[in-house]
Amino acid sequence: MARYIFVTGGVVSSLGKGLSSASLAYLLKSQGYKVRLRKMDPYLNVDPGTMSPFQHGEVFVTDDGAETDLDLGHYERFTNISSKQSDNITTGRIYSDVIKKERKGGYLGKTVQVIPHITNRIKEFIKKDITNEDFVICEIGGTVGDIESLPFVEAIRQFSNEHGKSKTLFIHLTFVPFLKSSDEIKTKPTQHSVKELRSIGIQPDIIICRSQQSIPLDQRKKISLFCNVPIDNVIETVDVRTIYEAPISFFNQKLDKQVLKYFKLKSKKSANLSPWKKITNIVLNTKKIVDIAIIGKYVNLKDAYKSLDEALIHGGINNKVKVNLIRIESDNLNKSEINKKLKNVSGLLIPGGFGKRGTEGKISAIKYAREKKLPFLGICFGMQMAIVEFARNKLKIKKAGSSELDKKCYPVVGLINEWDKNGKIIKGTDKNLGGTMRLGLYEAKLRNNSAINRIYKSKTINERHRHRYEVNSNLKNKFEEKGLIFSGMSPDNKLPEIIELENHPWFIGVQFHPEFKSRPLSPHPLFSSFIKAAKNHK
Ligand code: GLN
């Protein structure tokens, strides 16, 4: 049986549970163990697909098409292990499964209750789809003490009771604040958080203390004493200079060593930290800066485009430049503002998006990039807008648009049921408009000798999708005559996957989200190439 490591958090949120779990997973994996990471989210949405990224951060998409919490992105980036649908569960999903079963009479007349029915379903999820993994690291979202996370905490308590301490380990991550006025590190919030955890039946085995500065031995002893945890298992995590330092920092604090010791295991080989050291060094010492403008909806939440920001940084690391992201709010952007802002940048990126707000500004920006030969990368919605821009300004289809935004437009982007094989537009009925999303990994064939073919060095690729609308391939020849090439198509040749401009140093739009597959230790070729072009711009 696999060994299960449960990671809870206390005191405040955003302490870096995801990063801690991902770093631990990397360390265990690099010592020869097979690891799986899972996330349990206490909200009532069935999955985060319907949640605004501006509230909850980006929706991360897996190979198998699950719309998941952004922490799964951290997991993938740090461990290079692709997550699956079964690696993320929410309270909403658990309840909806249980209620569905109840409606079908699946509980044989019993009263259906949180304990045992909800907790049983959670325990099923914890074990589901696990084969020969050595470790399963399960992160519980939220903060201990919240009403919402209680069923999860209760379920992991039961799980540990059923499978024994030799197969389960509890890690609790807390905050250890430093009070400037008294020049002191305070352990009381940690003590209270552990007290809270113990009151619902869980004694942590390891406490990770997030702190702005190193915690003196005396304070660690205090935490050990009051929280009933051996001193060696009170691990500090001081703010790192870059997230890529996290695995190194946890290794230095012996987190992996204590975990292995707890399970009476030895490392099969020594942890390989050199790739992290290498990229930390590049990130901290790179002087050259490349400015990339991103036009999107930014309501202050920096995690709204987490994977994208990361992928750009990876591209920068690969080119030994620092990528400076210039975030431009797409609302109310006028032409002169756009021109002014884009004049001083080396690349333009239009990310994925939904809805009409801010689209005209994006289209004007794309026009600028096309005409002024500014490197441009359009992702999903960004590619769709590039098609609209080109259709309006080069093909002179004045009413060109996306039917997502304007039902009366000429849909150069739309649901595929809006046109027939001859390019004749069939207006979708309300029913038809509820097309489903294309989610997860899809193959694309790349055209020989195209820019995209040179970038990927491959004829076929597989990338992750998350969209409902498609570019109208009936107009392919018209676009190509004017120099916009459909250089990547779905295997059946029906759906345009990639567009690129001839006679432009770097202008590419992709219908998928390459950012979900970029990893710091293996940067995505598209982002590396984009940043390289930006580096050479002007
Ligand atoms: N809104 C567009 C669609 O559904 C693009 C989605 C995206 O950018 N992920 O097709």
The CATH number that applies at residue 16 is 3.40.50.300
- In a domain, residue 363? The reply is yes
**Among 457, 462, 448, which residue's Cα sits nearest to residue 513?**
462
Q: What is the pLDDT of residue 420?
A: 60
Give 59 Cα–ligand 1 centroid separation in angstroms.
13
Give 468 Cα–ligand 1 centroid separation in angstroms.
6
Specify the residue with its C-alpha closest to ligand 1, atom 5.
381
Say how many Å lie between the first and final Cα of the chain, rounded.
58
Q: What is the pLDDT averaged over residues 49-70?
A: 85
Lowest pLDDT segment from 156-160, 163-167, 283-287, 514-518: 283-287
d(CA 375, CA 372): 9
Annotation says 192 is catalytic: no
CATH number, domain of 336, equals 3.40.50.880
Residue 187 shares a structural domain with residue 312: no
d(CA 534, CA 150): 49
Residue 105 shares a structural domain with residue 47: yes
Catalytic residue among 138, 209, 227, 380: 380
Phi, psi of 511 (to 5 degrees): -80, -10
Token digits of residue 460: 């076929």
Q: What is the pLDDT of residue 431?
A: 45
Which atom of ligand 1 is the closest one to the Cα of 353?
8
| Owning domain of residue 331 | 288-536
- Kindly indicate the confidence band of residue 422, based on its pLDDT and cuts at 50, 70 and 90: low
Q: What is the pLDDT of residue 421?
A: 52
DSSP 246-275: HHHHHHHTTHHHHHHHHTT---SS----HH
Residue 131 has what DSSP assignment?
A: -
Q: What is the pLDDT averaged over residues 493-500?
A: 94
* C-alpha of 368 from chain center: 30
286-318 confidence digits (pLDDT tens): 999 999 999 987 656 678 899 999 999 999 999
- Kindly indicate the confidence band of residue 155, based on its pLDDT and cuts at 50, 70 and 90: very high
Residue 305 shares a structural domain with residue 243: no
Tokens 């901290």 locate to: 284
pLDDT at 428 over 50: no
Residue 62 shares a structural domain with residue 94: yes
d(CA 351, CA 295): 7
Residue 300 shares a structural domain with residue 215: no
Question: Is-contact 531 312, C-beta < 8 A?
Answer: yes
pLDDT at 513 over 80: yes
Residue 318 shares a structural domain with residue 418: yes
DSSP 501-518: ETTSSSEEEESS-GGGG-
Cβ neighbourhood burial of 83 (10 Å; 0-12, 13-18, 19+): buried
Amino acid letter for position 362: K
pLDDT at 181 over 90: no
Q: Is 444 helix (H, G, I), strand (E, B) or coil?
A: strand
Q: pTM for the whole thing?
A: 0.90
Lowest pLDDT segment from 50-64, 168-182, 410-424, 452-466: 410-424
**Partner residues linked to 376 by β-bridges:** 348, 507
Q: What is the pLDDT of residue 299?
A: 56
Residue 491 shares a structural domain with residue 514: yes
Phi, psi of 36 (to 5 degrees): -135, 140
Q: What is the pLDDT averaged over residues 386-405?
A: 95
Give 292 Cα–ligand 1 centroid separation in angstroms.
22
Annotation says 236 is catalytic: no
228-273 confidence digits (pLDDT tens): 999 999 999 998 999 999 999 999 999 999 999 999 999 999 999 9
Token digits of residue 272: 């390989």
Question: Is-contact 352 466, C-beta < 8 A?
Answer: yes
Token digits of residue 34: 């097979």
Percentage of the chain beyond pLDDT 70 is 96
Give 245 Cα–ligand 1 centroid separation in angstroms.
34
Q: Of 239, 255, 278, which marks where a domain is finished?
A: 278
Q: Of 255, 278, 301, which marks where a domain is finished?
A: 278
Residues in the chain: 538
Q: What is the pLDDT averaged over residues 99-117?
A: 93
Angle between helices 359-372 and 381-393 (to 10 degrees): 70
Q: Are strands 347-350 and 289-296 parallel, antiparallel or unpaired?
A: parallel
Residues near 25 by Cβ (< 8 Å), separated by ≥ 6? Answer: 35, 37, 75, 78, 79, 81, 135, 137
Amino acid letter for position 430: D
Residue 273 shares a structural domain with residue 292: no
CA dihedral of 70, 81, 453, 494, whole degrees rounded to 10: -70
**Domain tally for the chain?**
2
Token digits of residue 310: 């990361």
Q: What is the pLDDT averaged over residues 460-478?
A: 93
The dihedral through the CA atoms of 467, 468, 471, 474 has a sign that is: positive
Amino acid letter for position 381: F
Which atom of ligand 1 is the closest one to the Cα of 351?
8
Q: Of 278, 309, 342, which marks where a domain is finished?
A: 278
Q: Is 534 helix (H, G, I), strand (E, B) or coil?
A: helix
Specify the residue with its C-alpha closest to ligand 1, atom 1.
354
Q: What is the pLDDT of residue 429?
A: 43
- In a domain, residue 283? The reply is no
CA distances from 278 to 77, 119, 238, 317, 484 (A): 16, 44, 20, 10, 39
Where are the alpha helices (H) located in 379-537, listed in sequence order?
381-393, 430-433, 451-456, 476-481, 525-535
Annotation says 380 is catalytic: yes
Token digits of residue 121: 């379903």
- In a domain, residue 266? The reply is yes
Percentage of the chain beyond pLDDT 90 is 78
Choose which residue among 469, 510, 516 to substitute to test ligand 1 binding: the one with the highest number of ligand atoms within 8 A of its C-beta. Answer: 469
> What value, to the nearest 5°, has the Cα angle with vertex 137 and ends 133 and 139?
150
Where are the alpha helices (H) located in 31-90, listed in sequence order?
53-56, 71-79
Question: Is-contact 134 30, C-beta < 8 A?
Answer: no
- In a domain, residue 234? The reply is yes
pLDDT at 434 over 60: no
Give 383 Cα–ligand 1 centroid separation in angstroms.
10
Q: What is the pLDDT of residue 301?
A: 67
User: Which residues does a 6 A CB cutoff place in the pocket of ligand 1?
Assistant: 352-354, 380-381, 404, 466-469
Residue 314 shares a structural domain with residue 445: yes
Cβ neighbourhood burial of 24 (10 Å; 0-12, 13-18, 19+): buried
Residue 264 shares a structural domain with residue 392: no
* C-alpha of 170 from chain center: 25
pLDDT at 432 over 60: no
Q: What is the pLDDT of residue 50?
A: 76
Residue 162 shares a structural domain with residue 297: no
Catalytic residue among 236, 245, 515, 524: 515
- In a domain, residue 459? The reply is yes
Question: Is-contact 473 454, C-beta < 8 A?
Answer: no
Specify the residue with its C-alpha closest to ligand 1, atom 8.
352
Tokens 């390019």 locate to: 423
Q: What is the pLDDT averaged over residues 324-337?
A: 86
Residue 273 shares a structural domain with residue 301: no
Q: Are strands 496-501 and 484-489 parallel, antiparallel or unpaired?
A: antiparallel
